[in-house]
Amino acid sequence: MNFKDYLSIAPEIEEAIKAGKPIVALESTILSHGMPFPENVEFAHQVEVVVRNAGAIPATTAIIGGKLKVGLTPEELDLMCKAENVGKVSRRDVATYLATGMTGATTVATTMLIAAMAGLRVFATGGIGGVHRDGENTMDISADLQELAHTPVAVVCAGCKQILDIGRTLEYLETMGVPVLGYKTDDFPAFYCRKSGFGVDYNAPDAATIAKIIKTKDDIGFNSGMIIGNPIPEEYGLDFDEMEAVIKEALVKADAEGVRGKNITPFLLAQIKQITKGKAFASNVQLAYNNAKVAAEIAVELAKLD
Active site residues: 27, 161
Measured CA to CA, the distance from residue 275 to residue 145 in angstroms comes to: 29
How many CA atoms lie less than 13 Å away from 123 in the CB half-sphere? Answer: 37
Measured N-to-C along each axis, helices 143-150 and 166-175 cross at an angle, to the nearest 10 degrees, of 30
Q: For residue 67, what are the CA distances in angstroms to 11, 61, 98, 114, 252?
A: 15, 10, 6, 11, 39
148 within 8 A of 177, measured Cβ to Cβ: no
157 within 8 A of 194, measured Cβ to Cβ: no
Measured CA to CA, the distance from residue 25 to residue 3 in angstroms comes to: 18
Residue 238 DSSP SS3 = coil
Residue 243 DSSP SS3 = helix
Residues whose CB is less than 8 angstroms from the CB of residue 223 and which lie 6 or more positions away in sequence, other chains included: 150, 151, 152
The closest alpha carbon to 230, from 153, 157, 302, belongs to 157
* Identity at 257, one-letter amino acid code: E
172 within 8 A of 218, measured Cβ to Cβ: no
Which neighbouring-strand residues pair with 144? none
Measured CA to CA, the distance from residue 176 to residue 224 in angstroms comes to: 8
* Identity at 271, one-letter amino acid code: Q
